[in-house]
Amino acid sequence: MSNYNIKHLEEYFKVYRKSVREPEVFWEEIAEEHFSWHKKWDKVLYWDFEKPEIKWYEGAKLNITENCIDRHLRMTGDKTAILFEPNNPDEGAQHISYRQLHERVNKFANVLKDNGVRKGDRVCIYLPMIPELAVSLLACARIGAIHSVVFAGFSSNALATRINDSDCKIVITSDGSYRGAKTIDLKGIVDVALEDCPGVHTVLVAERIHSDIKMKPGRDQWLQPLLDQASPECEPEIMDAEDPLFILYTSGSTGKPKGMVHTTAGYMVYTAYTFKNMFRYEEDDVYWCTADIGWITGHSYIVYGPLANGATTLMFEGVPSYPDYGRFWEIVEKHRVNQFYTAPTAIRALAKENLGYVEKYDLSSLKVIGSVGEPINEEAWHWYNDNVGKKKSPIVDTWWQTETGGIMISPIPYVTPTIPTYATLPFIGVQPALMDEKGEELKGNQVEGRLCIKYPWPSIARTIWGNHQRYKDTYFSAFAKKYFTGDGALRDATGYYRITGRVDDVIIVSGHNLGTAPIEDAINEHNAVAESAIVGFPHDIKGNALYGYVVLKEAGAARNPDNLRKEINQKITERIGPIAKLDKIQFATGLPKTRSGKIMRRILRKIAAKDFTNLGDTSTLLNPEIVQEIIDNAH
């Protein structure tokens, strides 16, 4: 019997030990007992991190949509699979049952086939958070096409690059999208992108905002009339375990975006197993992840992981601030949400607002609350714990990456005791290693180094689309025979992991390594501070000095800026030491952020270095206007 649902800490340790001692036996049992296969594998795992090449469940035959949809039909066909909450609350939610999802996916799959899409073809999806987005991913998977979702906040330029890199011949989009009080002309963005994409022959357009858009004859077609005519039956394509399921682009520290390739069986097994455990999902629960399906979090934990477990997964079209800052909590109350999974950047934004927005709603349905995407600072952790979790729902601080496919280091709720800012323990089967500068593994506890993983897990990305060499160089070359994450981490006296941030953000000041995250934590503890970012800038004596960009909760709080600067440095001195004090502190009304909420330190570094000329592409920022403000006020 495999342990699919871990209930106690001792059980976690027991299963973990088994997964390390006998990984193939362990992952064979999980795959065998909890999924449906057309044919079982010949070999559970083949791997070579030097080549690098990784294969899980080789020889197995399956279709992931049968696991995510068909097999739930008999017992729970009428259960809600997707619970859609629109941007405008007055529009009313939609409940899509497993049976309805089955029909919608099959029809969509038939439309794709009618438009010439075959197994192995790449399909670009550029849609807002509407049900068609989830349905289109599954429709591709149904017929063995490889989906490449591009987040619908990317510019036409970014979209074109991604379409061309993976040679997509078809694009699925909508006439537009709602974002709070605004509408966005998605089709217009696609039209501009396609001027640079001669390979695209078909554009399928979902109707969402009923705007007056231009349709290019011979290329563009409205989706709905095609769906209306399509058959609701579509035999699933039988796939090999290692056939690609999707490509998802992630930005590298340099160069063009990397198209990470995920394959079918291992990805399915790992996302399903982690979903079950990290959120302790139970039969009648309503689960909500606020991410966009355009990111890996949405792929793995809105679509595939939840559906593989027969869960009800909530999809939210809107933003946390519309119609007001209580929207998240209103949705939790309305749908009696049991698991809530969001990002620290959202938590900090909401924590800045009046507490009344949270207190107004009944959040008693919540059982587990999660965090993902960046290190969660201590202040945000406590705000989340106190005001959302009410100190009773455990916070799962889940560390993972686009490349890892699923959650790697995280507490298991009600199993692993949590500590603020700690992702705690590796999940079953995950073997982390911390490496020093010389490439030696740091053994034992109370060590800090570069975070690597030394053994494959089922959902590791297999390659970068069209560039295996770059895959090798980026992930398998820094440390021999190990996957390098690009993150730093420490392991405390009890074996708990704390992710300290990207190692490319480490700043060496007077020969001391300083992580930006702990300094920012210290600054954020100041009552007046909402958020901050630290970068290094060249300094004659120290090599590097620290430059801090600080966003205040209320702009007026900087009435006596020099005093505030002193207090901030005092906080840092208290928490880390005088070595970490900032040479320069600039107050700003916001920080440049990517659409997924990550601070664009590259730009801040340039500004700190007084290099205003070549800031690179700022068009993909959430708030490009902030850049000029920061330049104008730079020291």
Near ligand WTA by CB under 6 A, which window of 56-64, 202-210, 483-491, 623-631?
Answer: 483-491
Residue from the set 102, 367, 502, 565 that interacts with ligand WTA by CB under 6 A: 502
Q: Which helix (H) or strand (E) holds 608?
A: helix 601-608
Residue tagged 């890996």 (tokens): 296
User: Binding-site residue total for ligand WTA (CB under 6 A)?
Assistant: 22
Stretch of 105-113, 171-179, 232-240, 292-300 lying at the interface with ligand WTA (CB under 6 A): 292-300
The reply to whether 459 sits near ligand WTA by the rule CB under 6 A is no
Compute CA distances 213 → 29, 154, 224, 317, 539, whole Å. 52, 19, 15, 21, 54
Closest CA to 141 of 83, 44, 252, 66: 66
> 296: closest CA among 409, 138, 527, 461?
461
Nearer to ligand WTA, 190 or 423 (CB): 423
Binding part of the chain for ligand WTA, among 109-117, 187-195, 400-408, 581-589 by CB under 6 A, reads 400-408
- Chain positions 241 to 270 lying near ligand WTA, rule: CB under 6 A, are 250
CB under 8 Å to 4, separation ≥6 — which residues? 30, 33, 34, 273, 276
Q: What is the C-alpha separation between 432 and 452, in angstroms, rounded?
A: 6
d(CA 64, CA 399): 25
User: Contact with ligand WTA (CB under 6 A): which of 64, 123, 464, 499?
Assistant: 499
Residue 398 or residue 569: which is nearer to ligand WTA going by CB?
398
520 binds ligand WTA (CB under 6 A): no
* Minimum distance, C-beta of residue 250 to ligand WTA, in the bound complex (Å): 5
For the bound state, the minimum distance from the C-beta of residue 398 to ligand WTA, rounded and expressed in Å, comes to 5
**Is residue 294 within 8 Å of 152, Cβ to Cβ?**
yes
Start-to-end CA distance of the chain, whole Å, equals 63
Residue 337 interacts with ligand WTA (CB under 6 A)? no
Show the binding pattern over residues 408-437: x = contacts ligand WTA (CB under 6 A), - = does not: ---------------x--------------
Site string for ligand WTA, 359-388 (x = CB under 6 A): ------------xxxxx-------------
Tokens of 105: 């996916």
Amino acid symbol at 454: K
Which of 28, 397 has the CB closer to ligand WTA? 397
DSSP 521-576: HHHHTSTTEEEEEEEEEEETTTEEEEEEEEEESSGGGGGSHHHHHHHHHHHHHHHT
292 makes contact with ligand WTA (CB under 6 A) = no
Cα 111 off chain centre by? 29
Q: What is the 3 state secondary structure string of 384-402?
A: HHHHHCCCCCCEEEEECCH
> For ligand WTA, which is the closer residue by CB, 327 or 502?
502
Nearer Cβ to ligand WTA, position 117 or 315?
315
297 binds ligand WTA (CB under 6 A): yes
Tokens 């994450």: give the residue: 485
Distance CA 449, CA 439 (A): 10
Nearer to ligand WTA, 367 or 502 (CB): 502
Q: What is residue 116's DSSP assignment? A: T
Interface with ligand WTA, residue 271, by CB under 6 A: no
Pick the closer one to ligand WTA by CB: 258 or 581: 258
Kindly state the smallest distance separating residue 624's Cβ from ligand WTA, in Å: 20
Encoded tokens for 213:
């858009």
Q: Which is nearer to ligand WTA, 194 or 489 (CB)?
A: 489
Output the smallest distance, CB 251 to ligand WTA, in A. 9
Owner of token pair 């700190």 = 608
Choosing from 285, 487, 520, 521, the residue that interacts with ligand WTA (CB under 6 A) is 487
What letter represents residue 596's amino acid? S
Taking the least distance from each CB to ligand WTA, the nearer of 135 and 599 is 599
As given in the structure block, the two tokens for residue 588 are 């700003």
Cβ proximity to ligand WTA: between 44 and 315 the closer is: 315
Tell me which residue has its CB nearest to ligand WTA.
Answer: 402
Residue among 63, 67, 402, 463 that touches ligand WTA (CB under 6 A): 402
Judged by DSSP in three states, 311 sits in coil
User: In one letter, which amino acid is 132?
Assistant: E
Instruction: Please identify, using beta-carbon distances, which residue of 108 and 457 lies nearer to ligand WTA.
Output: 457
Q: How many other CB atoms sit within 10 Å of the CB of residue 510? A: 12
Which lies closer to ligand WTA via its Cβ, residue 123 or residue 347? 347
Kindly state whether residue 452 participates in binding ligand WTA, applying the rule CB under 6 A: no
Distance of alpha carbon 122 from alpha carbon 216, whole angstroms? 21
Locate 257 and state its tokens.
């975006």
Question: Among 236, 486, 515, 548, which residue sits at the site for ligand WTA (rule: CB under 6 A)?
Answer: 486
Q: Is 296 in the site for ligand WTA (CB under 6 A)?
A: yes
Which range, of 49-57, 277-285, 398-406, 466-474, touches ligand WTA by CB under 6 A? 398-406
Distance CA 497, CA 453 (A): 13
Among 63, 80, 290, 398, binds ligand WTA (CB under 6 A): 398
Instruction: For residues 447 and 453, give the distance between their C-alpha atoms in angstroms, rounded to a whole number.
Output: 16
62 binds ligand WTA (CB under 6 A): no
Please pick, from the candidates 397, 520, 521, 531, the single residue that binds ligand WTA as defined by CB under 6 A.
397
- Is residue 108 a contact residue for ligand WTA (CB under 6 A)? no
Shortest CA distance to 451 belongs to which of 386, 505, 525, 503? 503
**What φ, ψ does residue 532 adopt, rounded to 5°?**
-155, 160
Does the footprint of ligand WTA cover residue 474 (CB under 6 A)? Answer: no
Smaller CB separation from ligand WTA, 244 or 344: 344
| Residue closer to ligand WTA (CB basis): 126 or 151 | 151
CA distances in angstroms from 590 to 178, 357, 604, 625, listed in the order given: 23, 22, 12, 10
Nearest distance from C-beta of residue 395 to ligand WTA, angstroms: 10
Q: Which stretch binds ligand WTA (CB under 6 A): 3-11, 127-135, 291-299, 583-591?
A: 291-299
- Residue 617: count of CB within 10 angstroms of its CB: 11
In the list 328, 400, 427, 587, the residue contacting ligand WTA (rule: CB under 6 A) is: 400
Q: What is the CA radius of gyration of the chain?
A: 24
Q: Does 293 bind ligand WTA (CB under 6 A)?
A: no
CA–CA distance from 217 to each of 214, 365, 425 (Å)?
9, 50, 55
Closest contact distance (angstroms) between CB of 270 and ligand WTA is 13
**Region 153-212 residues binding ligand WTA, contact defined as CB under 6 A:** none
Considering only residues 586 to 615 of the shown chain, the ones binding ligand WTA according to CB under 6 A are 596
Which residues of the shown chain bind ligand WTA in the complex (CB under 6 A)?
250, 295-297, 371-375, 397-402, 423, 485-487, 499, 502, 596
